[in-house]
Structure 1
Amino acid sequence: MKATTYTHMLTSFHEGWDELHEAHPTAFSFFIKLVLPLSLLPVLMVLYAGSRYGQYYGPTVSMSHWETLAVAFFVAEMLTVPSMAWIIRQLARAHKARSDYDGSYALAAIAAVPMWLSSLTLFVPSVLFNLACAFTGLAMACALVYHGIPAMLGKERDEDVRDMTYLVMWIGGGAWAILCAILSMPFFSA
């Protein structure tokens, strides 16, 4: 999958998705090539923000707290993608859609990319800017889920697919909120 194709996946039900569905990469290859490297990005950005702008984000937070936060966030990320893949697969089965774990994992991993990339905004010490970009990442993740579910599950857009899509978005939004809560820990730590 090319980076230029990825941008089309935000707005298309077929461009990029059909190619990915045909290639059928394994969950392990997605983990090694996409999930693990991009999961490290927020961790590194949290450590950077803590060391460079720590006093801005949490005036009383020590660097050891930032390190603990980065580790906790990484563990949460490692649990979130496979959990979302499992949820997508279970919902697909419940809606009698063709599903396998590899396709569900691919969709969960691809949908998480904008949220991982939004961590780059931690180069700028501005809570409002960081939040705006995080919400933009969430909106882009929802667009990827919206367009990816029919393609990856081999179903046409119908009422069942629509319901499943919105449920995945709600659950994913909840997971995102939990990850944000982990990141907000410096504001409540002493």
Structure 2
Amino acid sequence: MTVSHFLRLPLPGNDGWQALKRKNFSIPFLAWVVVLPMSLLPPVLLYFAGVHYGDDFMPGFADKEWRFITTILFLAELLTFFIMGWLIHSVMNSDKMEISYHDAYLLAAIAPIPLWLSSLALLVPVLAISVVSVLVGLCFSSLLIYQGIKSLCQRSDDDVVAMSATYTVMAASLLAWGILMATVWAF
């Protein structure tokens, strides 16, 4: 899959999700090749920002235990992948949309990529750029989840059900993300 195929995944009417499904990547492959390396981006860049920018980035930013915080963040991101795959499978099957475990974990691996990439904004020591980057990443992740649900579910002809399922998955994702961020700032 090329970058142009990936960029078209959030758009309606493309066969990118079906092409990914046909590749039949195993769940361990997705975890090792997609989730693990991409999950490293936010902790590494957050550690970089915390150590190099300090209070210039945000008041109180320099006084954190960045090694501990970023390790917990990394482990929580890995755990979140497995929980989100299970959640997507449960939500879709309870809404009678029928998605396989494989496809649920494919969606759980691909959907957070824009959020992981948004952490690249931490290379610029401006808080506003990081905030905007995260919001844009969140929008693209939501679109990926919606289009992924519509493409990967066997009964995806009902837009209202697909939007409802997307809302449920995104609400759980935001809750998990909020808990992660609260954990980061608590230390």
* TM-score, normalised with respect to structure 1: 0.89
AA aligned opposite 1:181:
A
Q: Which runs of 5+ in 2 are unaligned?
A: none
AA aligned opposite 1:160:
V
Q: Residue deviations 1:68-116, cap 9 Å, x none?
A: 1101110110111111111100011112222222211110111100000
Describe the shift of the 1:118–1:14 C-alpha distance in structure 2 as closer, same or farther (beyond 3 A): same
Q: Distance in 2 between matches of 1:45 and 1:37?
A: 13
Q: Which residue of 2 aligns with 1:55?
A: 55
Q: Residue deviations 1:23-60, cap 9 Å, x none?
A: 22111111111100000111110121122112323355
Q: Percent identity?
A: 32
AA aligned opposite 1:61:
D
> What is the alpha-carbon root mean square deviation over aligned residues?
1.7
AA aligned opposite 1:5:
H
**Is the CA contact 1:21–1:151 (under 8 Å) kept in the aligned structure 2?**
no
Q: Residue deviations 1:113-137, cap 9 Å, x none?
A: 0000011111111111111111111
Q: Distance in 2 between matches of 1:59 and 1:111?
A: 29
Q: Distance in 2 between matches of 1:131 and 1:2?
A: 28
Q: Which residue of 1 aligns with 2:165?
A: 164
- 3-state secondary structure, aligned to 1:14: coil
Shift of 1:157: 3.3
**Is the CA contact 1:9–1:144 (under 8 Å) kept in the aligned structure 2?**
yes
**Is the CA contact 2:149–2:156 (under 8 Å) kept in the aligned structure 1?**
no
Q: Which residue of 1 aligns with 2:180?
A: 179
How many residues are matched? 184
Shift of 1:13: 4.4
Q: Distance in 1 between matches of 2:66 and 2:25?
A: 35
Q: Distance in 1 between matches of 2:44 and 2:62?
A: 21
Check if 1:123 corresponds to 2:123. yes
Q: Which residue of 1 aligns with 2:10?
A: 10
Describe the shift of the 1:42–1:71 C-alpha distance in structure 2 as closer, same or farther (beyond 3 A): same
* TM-score, normalised with respect to structure 2: 0.90
**Is the CA contact 2:34–2:109 (under 8 Å) kept in the aligned structure 1?**
yes
Describe the shift of the 1:147–1:55 C-alpha distance in structure 2 as closer, same or farther (beyond 3 A): same
Higher relative contact order (CA 8 A, sep 6+): 1
Q: Distance in 1 between matches of 2:97 and 2:52?
A: 48
**Is the CA contact 1:45–1:119 (under 8 Å) kept in the aligned structure 2?**
yes
